[in-house]
Amino acid sequence: EEFAGTIVGDLSARRGNITGIDSRPDGVAAIHAKAPLAEMFGYTTNLRNMTQGRGSFTMEFDQYEPAPESITEGVLRGGR
């Protein structure tokens, strides 16, 4: 739980939406979120850095959504 705030902030910066946080008696927090796949590349390394090597995550497909206009404009211009 000591890293939960940092992780939530990082997921939010990746355009993530936090859907829940479960706290266990042993001090472990499970953070449930939805985030665009494009924002999650390299996340394992960042998560381990934020949690002193103790964090892990799983990922599964949820749904397709239209990209925000700011993202589509960048793609159309040849950027990310």
Structure confidence at residue 80 (pLDDT): 59
Query: Under DSSP, is residue 13 helix (H, G, I), strand (E, B) or coil?
Result: helix
Which CATH number is 49's domain given?
Answer: 3.30.70.240
Structure confidence at residue 27 (pLDDT): 87
User: Which residue would you say has higher pLDDT here, 14 or 80?
Assistant: 14
Query: Under DSSP, is residue 31 helix (H, G, I), strand (E, B) or coil?
Result: strand
Structure confidence at residue 75 (pLDDT): 86
pLDDT band at 79 (very low <50, low <70, confident <90, very high): low
Structure confidence at residue 32 (pLDDT): 97
This model's pTM is above 0.75: yes
Domain total in the chain = 1
Q: What percent of the chain has pLDDT over 70?
A: 98
State the maximum Cα–Cα separation within the chain, in Å, rounded to a whole number. Answer: 49
Range of the domain at 51: 4-76
**Number of C-beta neighbours around residue 10 at 10 A:** 17
